[in-house]
A and B are shown apart, each in its own frame.
Chain A
Amino acid sequence: MKKELNLKNAFFSFIKNYFVGFCIILLVVITMIYQPRFLSASNLLNIIRQLGPLSIVSLGMSFVIFAGYLDLSVAGTISLVAVVTVSLIEPLGQMGAILAGIVIGTAAGALIGAVVLVVGANRKSEALFISYGMGMAYSALALMYSGGVTQKLGENQKIFEVIGKGGWGILSVSLVIFIVCLIILQILQSMTYIGRSVMLAGGNPVASRLSGIPVNAVVVLVYTLSGLLASIGSVVLVSRVTTASPVIGKTYETNAITAVLIGGTSLKGGNGSVMRTVLGVVLISLMSNCMNLLGISSYMQSVVRGLVLILAIWLDSKRNS
C-alpha cells in the first residue's frame, strides 16, 4: 500500500515539477498533427541550430539563480556588447573586437555583483532592482554609444561569418560554442569547489557563511559569470543577424529566466543544474518553433512566453510553500 502511494505521489510530483514541460510536449504533439512539416529533417535541424544566443545567456543566468538571485541586466549587457564589438572591428580587428566586447560585458556583470554585495541587498528583491536599474543604464549606454543607429557588419567579416553561419551539418558553430560553455559550466558546478560554494550559498547563505564558505565572493562571481556568458551570447547573436542594434538584447532576460525555470530549477536557490537549463532551453526552442509553424504572430508568442513565465514562477512558489 505504501509503495503504491509513493509511486502515485512520485508521478504527480513529477508532473507538477515539469508541468510546463508537459504543456510544451502537448504543444509539440498538436503541431505534429497540424503541421507534419514539424517532423521534417530540415525543421528538426533548425531547432537545434537555433540553440544559440538564448541558450548561452541562460547558462549564465542559471548560476545566478543557483545562488538565489536573478540577473535582470542581461538585456542591457547584450545590447552594449553588441554595439561596442561591432564598432571596434575597424580599430581592433575582428578578434580584438570580440575580445574587447567580452571583456566589457564581463566587467559590466562584475560591477553589478560588486554593487549588490556592497549594498548588502539582504532582501533579494533589492538586488533584483539594482540589477534591473543598472541594466537599464547599460541599455542607455548602448543607445548613447551607437547614437541609436543600428550598425551593420560589413562584408568580409570572416570570423563573424563562421560563427554565424558556419558548421558541419547539425553542428553549427554556435551550437558548438554552446556545448563548450555547457561542458565547462557543468564541470564547474558539479566538480569544483567554486561550483559547490555557489550551490551551498544559494541553499542557505547563513549556514554556509558559518562554515567558512565565501558567500560574498559567490555573489560577485555569479553576476560576473552571467555578464561573461551574456557577452558570448551577444557575439553569437550579432554574427547570426549580422547587425548590431542598440536594443538587440530586449526580452533576453525574461526568456533566459523562463528557460531556467521550466527546466526545473527553483528560484529559491541551492538547487538545479546546468543540464536542467539545457532541457529548458530545448523546450523553449521547441515552443518557438511550434508557434512559428502554427502561424502564431510574434506578439502572441511573447504573450505566450509571458504566460509561461508566470506559470513557471507560480508552480515554483507552490512547490516551495
Chain B
Amino acid sequence: MADEITDNILNICNVNKSFPGVRALNNVSIRIRRGDIHGIVGENGAGKSTLMKILSGVYEKDSGTIEFDGETVENTTPVKSLRSGLSIIYQEFNLVNTMSVGENIFLGRFRKMKGMRGTHGEARKLLDSINCSVDTHAPVESLSVSEKQMVEIAKALSFQAKLIIMDEPSSSLTTEEIRHLSVIIKDLHEKGITIIYISHKLDEIFEYCDRVTIMRDGCVVDTKPIKELGRDEMIAKMVGRTIENEYPERPHCVGESLLEISNLNSRKLKNISFTLKRGEILGMVGLVGSGRTEIVRAIFGADKVKGLILQIDGKTVSIKKPADAKKAGIALVPEDRKQQGLILPFSVKSNISMAALKGLAKRIFLNRGSEVCMAKRQMESLAIKTPGINARVENLSGGNQQKCVLGRWLETDSRILILDEPTRGIDVGAKYEIYLLMKKIVENGGSIIMISSELQEVLSMSNRILTISDGRITGEFDPEDTSAEEIMKSALA
C-alpha cells in the first residue's frame, strides 16, 4: 500500500534478459522513488550493468515492463532515453576523446546551440553550476577521470535529466575528488534529481543513499531503506550462502616456494610482490579494474611494464613476450576467451594444439598424427562436448570452449597455470569439472594462480588468497580461517 502512494519515477517489473548461455537478469523488479538517491550493490556479474544498459536503451529486454516518469519504455534507443530525461554515466564514459569538452556536452546538438559560441557558452554555465573549472575548449583526452565525470554530469544536466544513473563513479578518484563529487551529488539531490548510485564502496552507499537494492546472480535479493540495513547484513546478502557440494574438497599439496614476483611496477600497478608455492592454488580477488589482470599479464610477458623481477626456483628469468613465458613453464588462460583465448572459426583440434605445436614438429614438418592424438586426448580427459575434433570451436558452449583453452595449456610442460576468471559464463556442471581439473593439476605438482570475482569459488578452491585494490596488494588470507566478508572488505579497501 505504501508503495502505491509514493511517487515512483522508475518502475522496473519482472524484467528478464538472457544472452547465449547466460541468464543475466532473472525476474528483476525494483521501484525507484522520485528524488531518492537509490543505491544498487552486488558483486561482479550480479547483473547491475546489464540492467543499466537496458534502462539506457543499449540492450533490449526479453520480457517485463519498465515505466519511467509515468511513460512505458519500449524499444528505446540511447538518444530517446536521454531526451526523456534518463541519463547514465558509464564507468568508461561515453565521450569522444578527440573533441572538446563543450562539444562533447552538446554532441549532436551543435546547430541547436547555435554554433561554437553557443555551445561553449552554455557548457561554461553548466560546468559552473557544478563548480567545475575545466576549460570548455580543452580536448577530453587531456582531462583527468574526475574532470571527465564532471563533463558527463554537465551533459546529463544539459538534457534536463530527471534521473541520473552513476556506474561506479568513485572507483578512480582521489579522496579530494571524491569529496567534490559528494558535494555535487548532494546538490543534484537538492535540485530534485533522482540518482541511481551503483558502487562497491559500501561507505558511500551508506553515506549518500536513501534506499538500496542488493543484487546477486541476476536476481534482486532485497530492496530496503538504508536505515533498516546493517553493513554486515548487506555484505552477507551480496555474497550469499554456499550451496553444498558445489565445490570439491580443497587440495592440500602446498610445497616450497616456486615463483617469486617482486617490484612489479607499471602505470596501474604499484610495487607488487608475492610468491607462489609448489602445488598451491593462489586466489586473487579484487574489483574490476583493480589490477588483477594487469599483474598476471605482466608475469606472462603480454604487457610491457616499468619493472619486474621474476624468479622461478630461485633463478631470475627474463620474460619479454608470451613465448618466453611459455618456455619458462608459465601458462595463461585469458579472461576474454572469445577474443583473446580462441580462434573462433578454427577447429577444436587447432585451438588445442596451438601452444604445443612447435614441440610436435619433427624438423620442420608438423606431426599431424600427434596433433590428432593431442586433441583427442584432451577431448576425453576434459570431457569436451563437441561433435568432433574438427568442429568449429565457435559452436561450442562457453564451458567447452574454456576447456579447449585449458586443454591447450595442459599439453605444454607448464608448471604455473594462470587462470583469469576460469568459470565465467559457464554452467554449474562444467564449473565443477573445471574445479576437479584444477585439483588434479596441483596434485600432479602444478601450481595455479586463479583470478576470480566469485568469492565462494575462491574461498572453496584456494590455499591462499591475495586481495588486490587500486593496483596494490591489500591483504593475504587463509581461506580456511577467513570469512567472505573479511575478504570482501579487504578488496574494497
A joins B in a complex: yes
How far apart sit A194 and B354, CA to CA, in the bound complex (Å)? 12
Determine if B73 is an interface residue (Cβ-Cβ < 8 Å): no
- Which residues of chain A in 176-221 are interfacial with respect to chain B, using CB atoms and an 8 Å cutoff? 191-194, 196-197, 200, 203-204, 206-214
Which residue of the partner chain A has the closest CB to B323? A212
Determine if B305 is an interface residue (Cβ-Cβ < 8 Å): no
How far apart sit A207 and B346, CA to CA, in the bound complex (Å)? 12
Determine if A151 is an interface residue (Cβ-Cβ < 8 Å): no
Set of chain B residues within 8 Å of A211, measured between Cβ atoms: 322, 326, 354-355, 408
Determine if B231 is an interface residue (Cβ-Cβ < 8 Å): no
Task: Say yes or no: B343 contacts A200, CB within 8 Å.
Answer: yes
Task: Say yes or no: B332 contacts A193, CB within 8 Å.
Answer: no
Task: Say yes or no: A208 contacts B343, CB within 8 Å.
Answer: yes
Task: Say yes or no: B322 contacts A212, CB within 8 Å.
Answer: yes
Which residue of the partner chain A has the closest CB to B332? A210
Determine if B342 is an interface residue (Cβ-Cβ < 8 Å): yes
Which residue of the partner chain A has the closest CB to B342? A207
Determine if A264 is an interface residue (Cβ-Cβ < 8 Å): no
- Number of A-B residue pairs, CB cutoff 8 Å, is 70
- Which residues of chain B in 328-363 are interfacial with respect to chain A, using CB atoms and an 8 Å cutoff? 332, 334, 339-346, 350, 354-355, 357-358, 360-361
Task: Say yes or no: B343 contacts A214, CB within 8 Å.
Answer: no
Task: Say yes or no: B350 contacts A200, CB within 8 Å.
Answer: yes
The listed residue (A191, A192, A193, A204) touching B343 by CB distance below 8 A is: A204
**A310–chain B nearest beta-carbon distance, Å:** 25
Determine if B302 is an interface residue (Cβ-Cβ < 8 Å): yes
How far apart sit A202 and B350, CA to CA, in the bound complex (Å)? 13
Determine if A135 is an interface residue (Cβ-Cβ < 8 Å): no
Describe A's contact surface by its main secondary structure.
helix
Max chain B C-beta neighbours (<10 A), residue from A194, A203, A214, A270: A203
Determine if A271 is an interface residue (Cβ-Cβ < 8 Å): yes
Determine if B365 is an interface residue (Cβ-Cβ < 8 Å): yes
Determine if B373 is an interface residue (Cβ-Cβ < 8 Å): no
**A222–chain B nearest beta-carbon distance, Å:** 17
The listed residue (B339, B366, B408) touching A196 by CB distance below 8 A is: B366
How far apart sit A214 and B300, CA to CA, in the bound complex (Å)? 15
Which residue of the partner chain B has the closest CB to A192? B364
Which residue of the partner chain B has the closest CB to A201? B343
A-B contact pairs, 19 of them (CB 8 A): A191-B366, A192-B365, A192-B366, A193-B357, A194-B364, A196-B366, A197-B357, A204-B342, A204-B343, A206-B340, A207-B341, A207-B343, A209-B321, A210-B300, A210-B302, A211-B322, A211-B326, A212-B322, A213-B354
Which of A's residues lie within 8 Å of B, judged by CB?
191-194, 196-197, 200, 203-204, 206-214, 270-271
Which of B's residues lie within 8 Å of A, judged by CB?
300, 302, 321-323, 325-327, 332, 334, 339-346, 350, 354-355, 357-358, 360-361, 364-366, 368, 408
Q: Shortest 9 CB-CB distances between A and B: which pairs? A: A203-B343, A212-B326, A212-B323, A204-B343, A193-B361, A211-B354, A211-B355, A192-B364, A206-B340
